[in-house]
Amino acid sequence: MQPALSLRKAISIMLEHANPIHRVHYTHLFDLTGKILAQDLFCQKALPAFDNSGMDGYAVRLADLGQKTPILGTILAGESCSVGLHDGACYKVMTGAPIPLGTQAVIPFENATLKDDSTVLLPTDFKEGANIKIAGEELQVGAPLLQKGERLTHHHVALLASQGYSVLPTYAPLRIGVYSSGNELIEPWESAQSHQIYNSNASMLFSTLQNFGWRADYLGVLPDCLEGMREAIRGFDAYDVILTTGGVSQGEADFMERSLEEAGMTTLFHGIEVKPGRPTMMGILGKTTLLCLPGNPLSASINLHFLGIPMLKKMQGERRYHLEFVYAPNKERLILKGNRANMVLGRLHEGCFKATQEGKYGSGMLTPLTTSNAIIFCDKGVENLEEGALIKVIPYMTSFGEEAVDFFNI
């Protein structure tokens, strides 16, 4: 194993080497949610597209306020409008209908008094421009709409539809392969004997990736022997990313690094000064990026979440791959060993962060993950977080930003 790196350094090496995969797919509007846009887009239909009415009412000139005014006609949404408006007349216009050129305000029906079918008494006072939506007031043709790398949400999809886009280039999903390792593992759909344990890491990986919009191939359990490893490694090149758990510490059956290096992997780091996650390893083998997580379930999950997900987001071509945080007061004093950085699970509740089990849980556990909803990163050297101290907290399903922020508590 290489000398352990600081967590900050490991994050920066990880991001430096997480190269975006630029394969493009064309995707229909109805399938765009969660996809990453592969092209900068500009406004091609102004918003609003034409001057139109914001209310069902009368399109008027201000000179006619307080007057009985003849109604020259009705304009419905969906009709085209080529008439102009002059003092001494008005038109009925419906919400979304184009308004006659020269309209100075739209007076809602309920603010005027209809005298007969063709005459209306207008109120005495009304603001110029009221209830008129002006062409291009939100977006003008040619204005930037969305940037390449945007992860599209339902709101983006609505914006794209408003522009008449129906098929758009998106980055093809990363090809991700997931392996577990360890002869003690039995799949949950099999029957474990007393000395065996069920494989929880593969499901955790699969499920976490699914949460973030990826679908991985689960490739099974890597054997704890060199020959078996060599055989498996030959299939890695079908994937952009291989994620593994286990077999990366100092055990006599921990063959991961040795067999991968023998196959030609460049090790970017192996060993991080962080708890949990010390043996985490990252490397590049041909065109495949490898992130080898510790076997301990809690370590694997946290390191996948907070190291692996930003890596995958960057490789997927997303613009926003930096973890974001919120500030919250620390509910209870927290004592830490400051000999390495710490990632501490906890709950954000009613605006405060409370460390799970006072930070005293093991890397092999699962239940602290299920009772937590957030995490804090504390730099090496931080031994004490006082009650009430304002700290940086990262929710599990954090948002990601375009700029790196310092989420460490120092």
Closer residue to ligand LQZAQKY5 (CB): 4 or 172: 4
Cα distance between residue 394 and residue 11, in whole Å: 16
**Which pair of structure tokens corresponds to residue 200?**
């929880």
Listed in sequence order, the residues at least 6 apart from 326 whose beta carbon sits closer than 8 Å to its beta carbon are 348, 392, 393, 394, 395
Alpha helices in 3-102 (DSSP H): 7-17
- State the binding string over 348-367 for ligand LQZAQKY5 (x if CB under 6 A, else -): ---------------xx---
Would you give the end-to-end CA distance of the chain in angstroms? 28
- State the binding string over 161-190 for ligand LQZAQKY5 (x if CB under 6 A, else -): -------------------xxx-xx-----
Selected binder of ligand LQZAQKY5 within 6, 67, 200, 357 (CB under 6 A): 200
- State the binding string over 264-303 for ligand MOO (x if CB under 6 A, else -): -----------xxxx---------------x-x--x----
Cα distance between residue 254 and residue 226, in whole Å: 10
Listed in sequence order, the residues at least 6 apart from 379 whose beta carbon sits closer than 8 Å to its beta carbon are 7, 8, 341, 408, 409, 410
Contact positions with ligand LQZAQKY5 (CB under 6 A) in 250-269: 250-251, 254
- State the binding string over 286-325 for ligand LQZAQKY5 (x if CB under 6 A, else -): --------xxxx-x--------------------------
Q: Binding to ligand LQZAQKY5 by residue 246, rule CB under 6 A?
A: yes
**Which pair of structure tokens corresponds to residue 35?**
């996809």
Selected binder of ligand LQZAQKY5 within 61, 151, 278, 392 (CB under 6 A): 278
Closer residue to ligand MOO (CB): 103 or 296: 296
DSSP assignment string, 178-201: EEEE-TTEE-TTS---TT-EE--H
Query: Which residue in the block uniquely carries the two structure tokens 């092209």?
Result: 39
Which residue number is nearest to ligand LQZAQKY5 in terms of Cβ? Answer: 295
326 burial type by CB count under 10 A (0-12 exposed, 13-18 middle, 19+ buried): middle
Cα distance between residue 247 and residue 281, in whole Å: 10
Q: Binding to ligand LQZAQKY5 by residue 279, rule CB under 6 A?
A: yes
* Min dist. Cβ of residue 272 to ligand MOO (A): 8
Cα distance between residue 245 and residue 317, in whole Å: 25
DSSP assignment string, 274-289: EES-TT-EEEEETTEE
Stretch that binds ligand LQZAQKY5, among 61-69, 79-87, 245-253, 397-405 (CB under 6 A): 245-253
Q: Which residues bind ligand MOO (CB under 6 A)?
A: 275-278, 294, 296, 299, 363
Q: Which residues bind ligand LQZAQKY5 (CB under 6 A)?
A: 180-182, 184-185, 197, 199-202, 245-251, 254, 276, 278-279, 294-297, 299, 363-364
